Amino acid sequence: MRIRTVAATAAIAAAAAAFSAQAANELKIGFLSTLSGPAASIGIEIRDGFNLALKLAGGKLGGLPTEVVFADDQLNPEVGKQLTERLIRRDRVNLMTGVVFSNVMIAVWPTIEQAKLFYVAPNSTPTSISGKGCSPYFFSASWPNEGHHEAAGHFATSKGYKNAYLMAPNYPAGKDALTGFKRGYKGKIVAEVYTKLNQLDYAAELAQLRAANPDTLYAFLPGGMGINFIKQFVAAGLSKDIQLVVPGFVSDQDVVRAVGEPMLGLFDTSHWAYDLDNEANKVFVAAFEKEHKRIPSLFAEQGYTAALVIDAAVRAAKGKVEDVKAFRSALMNAPARLKTPRGEWKVANNGTPIQDYYVRVVAKDAQGRIVNKKIGTVLNDHVDFWAKECAMK
Amino acid sequence: MSWILFLEQLLNGLQFGLMLFLLAAGLTLVFGIMDMINLAHGSLYMIGAYLMASFAQATGSFWAALPLALAATALVGAALEVSVLRRLYERDHLAQVLATFAIILIANELVRLIWGSQPIMLNAPAGLTGPVELPGGVQYASYRLVIIGVGSAVALLLYVLVTRTRVGMLVRAGASNREMAVAMGVDIRRLFTGVFALGAALCALAGAMLGPILAVQVGMGENILILAFVVIVIGGIGSIRGALVGALLVGLVDTMGRSLLPIAFALIFRPQVASNLGPSVSSILIYVLMAAVLFLRPQGLFPARG
């Protein structure tokens, strides 16, 4: 059994190498994402955005008939690894995308890279893959992991907040988040508090926060943790005295729908905003609202943009997705003229986007809906801090 | 740390404990009386919260929605008991764990089908959204005071129900010796359905009361169920009094650990070490407590069976 699989893999690899220059006549994309369990709402937003772009393109990316094979990692790195192998060996996908969480991404990445398959990130872009460990097969259509946090640090400095209180869950991405914030922030850090992952009650932390009385609180608490925290922060009456600042993925439409009014007045940083003024964005937002009867979140935009980037690159490479050189060059260069909802598309040497970061405020729009409104730009053409450690040119 | 802050943290611990008690009370009744491990208890908590959110949106009133959500969840619980769980009483615990785990998965996907995968909104009733000032100048979330009130009232009611009424007598009889109770002519089937419905209603109360401060989302039950199990293992399975004491212990130890340990470590270790150690140690504190209780009193603090 074992020998057979190894032999089969070798055969596939050999076949792939032999026919690498040949253009595929259909595109098969492996979409590994978190689609069930408490954290599924993010994966589903990304999927909905991706599917929308595919639908608007008439079911063809880069002019090739496109099939997307979905697989649910259940936020379990082990399951993610098995499914990745299945997608590569059994389903023989040409390209992969979809992963939401960094712990899954880090676990499945060696398998994808060894299979010499391209991966276009619609979300997680860990520093371990964008810095020293950068790879020609990795390309990000979202943001480098620390981008939003660094932007938030700059924003807090520009607002003149003299002292900041930082809070994040006690796991690698939480520590990266605060590292990113501290790089951008010039004021005094009052305290750096790490909470339990999936913590329910924050009363103890809130009491200490009140006693410390900082100008601003920067909290990276994704998913349900953010909902718990924001509800309790506002109920404790702290929002009157302490300005809450969060990265965009803690406060977008998925959270707004669950929390509502108490979120008004909160600041967040994002690479995109639903009211960003460009043609491609208007098309995206209108189409998404028509299809799903809800305002898209930044996650939906990332899925949508990932599909646009794949579309442009496959077209430029004339379908040769297995020709490493041609497709890499297509991914690096072709999307440059691309019109995405974020505007003009630019890429750094490590495959991460060079983009603006905005600050948004949670407020009501003209129709009385609660949305994240763009109020300013914090970083222009920001390049990933870790790009300089990447040896690729 | 000032006295005021210390007292506030004590209050937080009490509040978190009573929050856990709401969930643990139903779990300990079912576990103790029916000798049934019901992992789907968390699913009933989730269903209660979702029904509460829907009723609150439909009626526009938090307090009008509360009895509706309780009744509806009790019905769901009773239906679940009659259709599925009743067949599991005679099986071993492993079969029960497997079957009720399956119910968790089915319930999660059903909720996703009905309400969608995004978390939904459930906010505190008007007038209880902000803080109030307590004696001593502490600003405290008014809604949390309501949770303390409701939790205490439920504890008292359950105590009266179990120790002072005929139904309570039957429940205690069933918990301490099921065969003897049957032999004495107790209609154990009806009793079990009733207890299970009561447990489900308590779940709904927990879900409804906690919804305004926690995320109402698919899978919300699994997260809190682990804590509820820790509570009933510490308190002694089947005992309401044990559930109350266990819940308060867990609430206080967890809250005080999170607030005091980082300060204590900062006095002993370098800041770098202390900031890593504090959260790690405080997050395992309640499990250390559970292990200690199991070591000293394997039956829990207040075992229901003598």
Full residue range of the structural domain in which residue A226 is found:
147-270+357-386
Classify residue B305: in a domain, yes or no: no
Assess if residue B301 is contained within a domain.
no
> Both A187 and A157 in a single domain?
yes
Count of domains forming chain B:
1
Average pLDDT, chain B: 89
> Within this chain, do residues A97 and A177 fall inside the same structural domain, yes or no?
no
Residue range B212-235, pLDDT digits in tens: 999 999 889 988 899 999 999 999
pTM reported for the whole predicted model: 0.85
DSSP letter (8 states) at residue B216: B
Q: What is the pLDDT of residue A23?
A: 59
ipTM of the complex: 0.86
More confident residue, A4 or B191: B191
Sequence-ordered list of residues with C-beta below 8 angstroms from that of B93, at least 6 positions apart, any chain: B37
- Most B CBs within 10 A among A34, A35, A213, A231, hence the mutation to make, goes to A231
Q: pLDDT by residue (tens digit) across A324-349?
A: 899 999 998 877 778 899 988 889 99
DSSP class of A90: T
Secondary structure (DSSP) of B120-182: B---PPTT-SSEEEPTTS-EEEHHHHHHHHHHHHHHHHHHHHHHHSHHHHHHHHHHH-HHHHH
* Statement to judge: residues A95 and A160 lie in one domain: no
Q: Under 8 Å CB-to-CB from A46, ≥6 apart: which residues? A: A33, A98, A100, A122, A123, A299, A300, A302, A303, A306
Residues A244, A240: Cα–Cα separation, whole Å: 10
* DSSP-derived secondary structure for A305-370: HHHHHHHHHHHHTTT-TT-HHHHHHHHHHGGGG-EETTEE--B-TTS-B-EEEEEEEEEE-TTS-E
Q: How many CB atoms lie within 10 A of CB A332?
A: 17
A214 and A242, same domain (yes or no): yes
pLDDT reported for residue A21:
44
pLDDT at B84: 92
Predicted local distance difference test score (pLDDT) of residue A64: 93
Q: Which residue has the tokens 């430029």?
A: A316
Q: Which of B109, B121, B142 sits opposite A257 (nearest CB)?
A: B121
Residues of A in contact with B130 (CB under 8 A): 235, 237
Burial class (CB in 10 A: 0-12, 13-18, 19+), B5: middle
CB contacts of B283 in chain A (<8 Å) are 170, 196
Domain that holds residue B221: 3-296
B255 found inside a domain: yes
Residues of chain A with pLDDT under 70: 1-24
The answer on A372 and A247 residing in a single domain is: yes
CA dihedral A300, A301, A304, A308 (to 10 degrees): -170
Residue at A137 is within a domain: yes
Q: State the average pLDDT over residues B74-81.
A: 95
In a domain, A243, yes or no: yes
Looking at the fold, whether A234 and A366 belong to one and the same domain comes out as yes
| Residue B82, domain member (yes or no) | yes
In chain A, which residue's Cα lies nearest the Cα of B224?
A: A200
Q: Do B218 and A198 touch (CB under 8 A)?
A: no
Do A201 and A283 share a structural domain?
no
Check whether B137 has a pLDDT greater than 50: yes
Domain containing A207 — which CATH number? 3.40.50.2300
Inter-chain contact A41–B117, Cβ cutoff 8 Å?
Answer: yes
On whether both A102 and A137 belong to a single domain, the answer is yes
* Nearest Cα residue in chain A from B105: A37
pLDDT at B219: 86
How many alpha carbons lie under 13 Å from residue A99 in its C-beta half-sphere?
28
Total domain count, chain A: 2
The backbone torsions φ and ψ at residue B88, rounded to the nearest 5 degrees and listed phi first, read -100, -10
Residues A168 and A236 both lie in one domain: yes
A87-115 pLDDT tens trace: 999 999 999 999 999 889 999 999 999 99
Does A366 lie in the same domain as A346?
no
Residues A128 and A186 in one domain: no
Residues A345, A231 within the same domain: no
B15 inside 8 A of chain A by CB:
yes
Which pairs count as long-range contacts for A19-22, CB under 8 Å and 24+ apart, including other chains? A19/A322, A20/A320, A20/A322, A20/A323, A20/A324, A21/A320, A21/A323, A22/A320, A22/A322
A253 SS3 class: helix
Give helix B41-59 / helix B220-235 axis angle, nearest 10°.
130
- The CA distance from B96 to the nearest CA of chain A, in Å, is 22
B155 within some domain: yes
